[in-house]
């Protein structure tokens, strides 16, 4: 039962978020073999000034080995 959380800065429209949600769901179905009813997707809007503390440290640096796509704006942990 995949649950995908997309963390992003505020400002994207509901239409943009729905389009991304549809795209992600289709990818999960195509590549992982789950049915549409098994997938849930949520969006967490994080203010730019909170990004470092709420996303970079816990979710990127703190989970570096498990990231399948690493950002170019963060140096790998030492």
CB 10 within 8 A of CB 45: yes
Can 2 be counted among the known catalytic residues?
yes
CB 36 within 8 A of CB 29: yes
Bridge partners for 4 per DSSP: 41
Spot the catalytic one: 2, 58, 65, 77: 2
Tokens of 25: 């769901």
Catalytically active residues are 2
């Amino acid at each position: 039962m995949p649950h995908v959380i997309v963390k992003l800065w505020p400002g994207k429209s509901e239409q943009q978020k729905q389009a991304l949600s549809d795209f992600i769901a289709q990818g999960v179905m195509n590549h992982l073999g789950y049915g549409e009813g098994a997938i849930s997707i949520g969006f967490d809007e994080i203010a730019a000034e909170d990004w470092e503390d709420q996303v970079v440290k816990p979710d990127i640096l703190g989970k570096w080995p498990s990231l399948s796509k690493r950002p170019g704006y963060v140096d790998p942990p030492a």
